[in-house]
Amino acid sequence: MSTFAQRDLAGWGRFPSQNCFATRPEKRREVPYAANDEFVSDIIARGLGRSYGDAALNLDAGVLLLEKLNRFLDFDAQTGVLHAEGGASFADILETFVPRGYFLPVTPGTKFVTLGGAIACDVHGKNHHRDGCLSEWVEEFDLLLASGETLTCSREQHPAAFWATIGGMGLTGIITTAKLRLIPIETTSIRASYTRTKDLDETLAEFGRDGDFRYSVAWIDCLASGASLGRSVLIRGNHAAPDEVSGDPLEFGAKRQKAVPVDFPDFALNSLSVKAFNALYYAAHPDREKIVPFEPFFWPLDAVSDWNRIYGARGFIQYQCVLPFETSRDGLKTLLETISASGRASFLAVLKTFGPQNLGLLDFPFSGHTLALDLPASAGIVEFARELDEIVLNHGGRVYLAKDATLSPENLRRMYPQIEEFVAVKARLDPDNRFQSSLSKRLRIGGAQ
Amino acid sequence: MSEKTFGKGARVLILGATSGIARATALEFARRGFDLVLAGRDREELEILAADARVRCGNGVEIVEFDATNFDSHPDFWHRCGDVDGVICALGVMPPQQESERDWETCRAVIEVNYTACVSILNLVANDFEVRGSGFIAVLTSVAGERARKSNYIYGSAKSGLSAYTEGLRARLFAAGVSVTTVKPGPVDTAMTWGMEKLPLLVPPEKVASDIYRGVRRKADVVFSPAPWRLIMAIMRVVPSFIWKRLDF
Ligand SMILES: Cc1cc2nc3c(=O)[nH]c(=O)nc-3n(C[C@H](O)[C@H](O)[C@H](O)COP(=O)(O)OP(=O)(O)OC[C@H]3O[C@@H](n4cnc5c(N)ncnc54)[C@H](O)[C@@H]3O)c2cc1C
Ligand SMILES: NC(=O)c1ccc[n+]([C@@H]2O[C@H](COP(=O)([O-])OP(=O)(O)OC[C@H]3O[C@@H](n4cnc5c(N)ncnc54)[C@H](OP(=O)(O)O)[C@@H]3O)[C@@H](O)[C@H]2O)c1
């Protein structure tokens, strides 16, 4: 029998926060027992809780913490393929393999995520336009089903389970282990290039010139309005060559982290005026090129622990949507105007280009532009997010479930056309609907419809 | 092992290698250059831990199956471990106290795993280390053994016995140049304590692991982990019995 502890859990946005019953196996063979323990009516996997909303929560029901199942099982230096448990964190992978000359093929804006959580959301990075989602680099994974059976899933083996599980938000089972292909690197620095644009058209036009850059993202001043609406600083880059850096080209990790200057968050978070910050940030980034270490380039916010607390106890939501190229200019304009008019200040808003969609049934990215921004969870936030959802839908877009806390079940179906196929695969893999979360219950995914 | 060569290529045996604290401790020692001998009864889990240490640190890692409460098997087990430079003992079990009060088999297991098994295997280790004139032994006891509380005195008494054993062993092996370090953690965030309410000064196992490493390295006699427990327990020890018996914890 597993021990379940009552815990108030939340995602990174701290909205909502819910009472859950959490169990934390430390050994592999305990996982199937924990997953099926009758103490809880249903259960959901949780990694490091870096999804923003309710994906890794389960109100008054079970949450299975995977953080202790974080062992590395094998590494092939020839192919760069790492075989690790689902609870292994990206931070841990980086700490171990960067000094040996390997890097994550895809990394979200924080390294405090688990391999299993990253696969379940099929995360994207600043290189989606070039390298796709994480699943592009996942050779296979072991999926523990409610029956206790483990399926090894890949594009060839159990492909239906593979494409339902990547981006499947933990609803098909538990990813106990996975094989991820790391990429070779020569340095831990990026040759970064900063480009300032004066309005949305210029920003989108500049994104059209991403081709040369493996990594590309824009910080967008979501408080600028009128003629400046959509003005941005594009931050793009490629891996730096060894002759461009001084000292140990593969230096990385805890020691360096402290020494690395934080690019913007630390002063952003101390700044009381969002508007002033946004204006300053724009002013502080004239066009230029420079060699920057990985840390502030890929995970600028990781240097400030618990930065999510600046929004206070009520928390915040992160709203992330993608709009197809054909409608994105219009859609982004309407979204930005609506947000700006609402007076719901956002500290950070980012824009980037996505490459083509993959075969994941619930995968978020498709070709177009994606906008992500924080909104404090003040009164009326759910209604406001739904207002944004309508704009997104009107432009043929959708929102990212890894960030979501507010979507309605109806709109989920309008945004994710393959949802019924997903539900059918889930019903085969998990006939008793053992794997449920607050997100799946809110969005009515699986089980009684 | 001279001070200079501490770690590099030395072998450390970890008894109860599947324990949460032992996992962190094994990696701590592996990172410092030690080869590992992981001993326990859960083969599948030991294989995973061994793979992890190999991938992370590139060190030699071996597994030896160890049945802690089958005392007769200990001499053969110890023989199979080969030459080791140090031993860390992390065996332990802590079921809810009431179960031990009502059920003798549970109570017996608490005594046997926390005390008897440790004595049985450490006797063998000590005899060899004494003859050889080198080595270190680190044993996880607990602050629970410093002063027995009504809510956890059966476990506490076994740990108290083990602390006393290590104290005597330390005195015996001192002349032979073998160090014995008694490690007394407070509550540690492992499977043993998962789900317990409001534990004071709860620390991650990695904290205890680094305290163990530093303790062994400087041949410390007694290590409290985290350190404030030394003072807290010093105060606890002077509380008179007529008060202690009235305390509700
Ligand atoms: C600062 C910040 C920046 C971010 N930037 C990006 C970004 O650039 N791109 C992006 O894509 N995302 C981004 N994210 C979101 C984050 O990458 C994802 O939510 C990621 O999945 C979090 O991993 P986790 O281990 O914390 O998972 P959790 O939040 O714990 O869980 C997320 C989902 O995965 C499921 N899950 C977790 N572990 C398993 C498992 N072993 N088996 C099956 N299902 C599992 C859960 O059930 C849940 O549905 C960002 C988040 C933060 C806080
Ligand atoms: N956690 C704390 O708060 C805390 C505080 C003070 C002291 N300690 C002590 O520190 C040590 C490690 O604790 P932990 O928290 O890491 O414990 P843990 O994770 O529960 O591990 C206990 C270890 O003891 C082994 N064991 C238990 N019963 C056994 C048996 N009958 N036969 C063989 N082996 C058995 C287990 O092996 P299996 O995996 O095969 O079960 C496991 O390796 C213990 O001595 C504990 O008493 C812990």
* Annotated domain spans of chain A: 72-185, 189-406
Q: Which strand (E) or helix (H) includes residue A201?
A: helix A200-207
Count CB-CB contacts under 10 A for residue B133: 11
Residue A396 clears pLDDT 90, i.e. is over it: yes
Q: d(Cα B64, Cα A124) in Å, to the nearest integer?
A: 43
Quote the DSSP letter at residue A52.
Answer: S
Q: State the pLDDT at residue A273.
A: 55
Task: Return the CATH architecture of domain B11-244.
Answer: 3-Layer(aba) Sandwich (3.40)
The CA-based angle A39-A42-A43, given to 5 degrees, is 95
Q: Does B20 touch chain A (CB under 8 A)?
A: yes
Among the listed residues A74, A93, A67, the one whose alpha carbon sits nearest the alpha carbon of residue A7: A67
Which residue CA neighbors atom 1 of ligand 2 most closely? B188
The predicted model gives A345-367 an average pLDDT of 93
Cα A256 to averaged position of ligand 2 atoms, centre (Å): 36
Q: What is the pLDDT of residues A10-62, one digit of tens each?
A: 999 999 999 999 999 999 999 999 999 999 999 999 999 999 999 999 999 99
Question: In this structure, which ligand is nearest to the CA of A62?
Answer: 1
pLDDT at B36: 98
Please work out whether the CB of residue A245 comes within 6 Å of at least one atom of ligand 1: no
Of A222-226, A231-235, A263-267, A409-413, the range with the lowest mean pLDDT is A263-267
Question: Cα(A84)–Cα(A28) distance, rounded to whole angstroms?
Answer: 12
**Cβ-defined contact of B55 to A74 (cutoff 8 Å):** yes
Q: How confident is the model at residue A346 (pLDDT cuts 50, 70, 90)?
A: confident
Mutate to test the pocket of ligand 2, among B188, B193, B197, B212 (most ligand atoms within 8 A of CB): B188
What is the number of the ligand closest to the CA of A67? 1
Summarize the confidence of residues A266-295 as an average pLDDT: 69
- Within 8 A of A2 by CB-CB distance, chain B residues are none
ipTM of the complex model: 0.95
Q: Are B137 and B87 a contacting pair, CB within 8 Å?
A: yes
Q: Which residues of chain B have pLDDT under 70?
A: 1-5
Q: Tell me, what DSSP letter sits at residue A302? A: G
The number of CA neighbours under 13 Å toward the Cβ of A417 is 6
CA A315 – CA A306 distance, rounded (Å): 12
Q: For residues A335 and A339, give the distance between their C-alpha atoms in angstroms, rounded to a whole number.
A: 6
Task: Give the tokens for residue A290.
Answer: 């420079």
CA neighbours within 13 Å on the CB side: how many for A146? 20
Specify the pLDDT at position A271.
39
Q: Is B233 helix (H, G, I), strand (E, B) or coil?
A: helix
What is the structure's pLDDT at B177? 97
Residues 6+ apart with CB under 8 A from A25: A2, A31, A33, A34, A64, A65, A66, A68, A69
> Contact A48/A12 with Cβ under 8 angstroms?
no
Specify which residues B36 forms β-bridges with: B12, B61
Task: Confirm if A321 and A370 have CB atoms less than 8 A apart.
Answer: yes
Tens of pLDDT, residues A156-187:
999 999 999 999 999 999 999 999 999 999 99
pLDDT at A272: 47
C-alpha of residue B248 to centroid of ligand 1, in Å: 43
CATH 3.30.465.10 corresponds to the domain A72-185: yes
Q: Tell whether B194 lies on the interface with A, counting CB pairs under 8 A.
A: yes
Say if domain A189-406 classifies as CATH 1.25.40. Answer: no
Q: Which residues of B touch A26 (CB under 8 A)?
A: 20, 23, 190-191
Question: Residue B229 Cα, ligand 1 centroid: separation in angstroms?
Answer: 37
d(CA B209, CA B138): 11
Indicate the range of A252-256, A302-306, B100-104 predicted with least confidence: A252-256
pLDDT score of A305 more than 80: no
Structure tokens at A61: 């029901």
pLDDT for the residue A343: 82
Cα A288 from Cα B43, distance rounded (Å): 57
pLDDT at A265: 43
Cβ atoms A55, A171 nearer than 8 A: no
Give the model's confidence band at A365: pLDDT under 50 very low, under 70 low, under 90 confident, else very high. very high
Burial (CB count <10 Å: 0-12, 13-18, 19+), residue A246: exposed
Please tell me the number of Cα atoms within 13 Å of B85 on its side-chain side. 18
B155 noted as active-site residue: yes
Contact B48 A71 (CB under 8 A): yes
A86 with A184: CB under 8 angstroms? no
Cα three-residue angle A306-A311-A313, rounded to 5 degrees = 90
Please give the single-letter amino acid code of residue A370: T
Element (H, E) at A81: strand A81-85
Distance, in Å, from the CA atom of A322 to the CA atom of A301, rounded to the nearest integer, reads 22
Write out pLDDT tens, residues A72-84.
999 999 999 999 9
Residue with tokens 């991820």: A180
Of B240, B224, B228, the residue nearest B145 (C-alpha)? B224
Confidence of residue A260 (pLDDT cuts 50, 70, 90): very low
CA distance A292 to A240: 9
Please list the alpha-helical segments (H only) found in A312-380: 325-342
The helix/strand/coil state of A265 is: helix
Name which of A371, A351, A373 is nearest A203 in CA terms.
A351
